[in-house]
Amino acid sequence: MTQAISFPTNRKIIHVDMDAFYASVEQMDFPELKGKPVAVGGSEARGVVSAASYEARKFGVRSAISGVLAKKYCPEIIFVRPRFDRYKEISKKVQAIFYDYTDLVEPLSLDEAYLDVTQNKKGNPSATLIAKEIRERIFNEVGLTASAGISVNKFVAKIASDFNKPNGQKTVNPDEVLGFLEALPIRKFYGVGKVTTEKMYQLGIFTGLDLKKKELDFLEKHFGKSGAFYYNVVRGIHNSEVKSERVAKSVATEHTFDENLSSEIFMEEKLQVIAEQLERRLLKQNLAGKTVTLKIKYSDFSLQTRSKTLPYFIANKSLLFETVKELLYQERMKNSVRLLGISVTNLNTDVKKTVVVQLKFDF
């Protein structure tokens, strides 16, 4: 049975998610692609799909699968090169609409964001109507469709935005949250990936209600620190605020190569170029970091990372390259390499905590 509500119900959070964003931009800009299965990124020979149109998704084409597999699933697939400058341009137009309603906007990526509309610039007490108006404006002013989830916290809003895709929205009112989460298949819980889903299945956890029946000690035993997160969110408890300015946690640059690399000497040349690009990104954002990570994706698509933490902050390309070169030779390569990347974490960012006073309104 659904328990009495014991979580904050005074917030109004909207999660807006653009529908198949990259692919939809391509179909908008090139009308001949409308109604056709489109994959952004990848190719028949190699590469990874960045996004797929809904026409392609019907065949099982998804982001992060190889172009070869996409072609196998959908022989009629049309591959297009990504145009990130264009996607950023469209994203800025969409975000400008968000800011007409609230300054509490937290972009997660180019195509999705959280909005806290508890107190909003329109003085509209209905988060549901605000979401509807935002989606209509995106369609009329930008030419694309978006979906939205509306609820009392970011976790539930994020899940809800996926329910009526594409071009739809779902509101989970305060008195519906617990029942909504209890009935939800565990695989649809945001933050529960394939591996965790399988582990939960083995433990007899198939729905939110199954998860809710497990004690905190049990969840921490099997899932470590994530156990407390699962214990709370299934009870509707997720107090993370919408942060209007997200603090960068990492800066990274990576390259996928046209031909696999089998020699560390060739990899060194590529890593020098990547280090130079990463330096430019760090300096542009006035950032530096202590932890340098080398990302290696092999020809069989297996992934490996090697990291080193230094006693000082670095952003210089020479220091980045010397550190990553050491990581490169840390152990022998197990296969030829299709992708190399460098990321910097443990950054010199100051995280400032803000106090947000929440007022209670009718949902």
Burial group, residue 255, by CB count within 10 angstroms (0-12, 13-18, 19+): middle
Residues contacting residue 73 through CB under 8 Å, at least 6 positions apart? 59, 60, 61
Which strand (E) or helix (H) includes residue 105? strand 105-109
Q: Which residues of 91-118 are buried (b: 16+ CB within 10 A; e: fewer)?
A: beebeebbeebbebbbbeebbbbbbbbb
Residue 6 · residue 235 · CB < 8 Å:
yes
Distance CA 349, CA 363 (A): 36
What Rg, from alpha-carbon coordinates, does the chain have? 22
Largest CA distance in the chain: 64
What 8-state DSSP symbol labels residue 139?
I
Active site residue 112: yes
User: Of the candidates 195, 236, 339, which has an alpha carbon nearest to the alpha carbon of residue 7?
Assistant: 236
> Among the options 26, 106, 112, 182, which is catalytic?
112
Which residues are catalytic, by number?
112
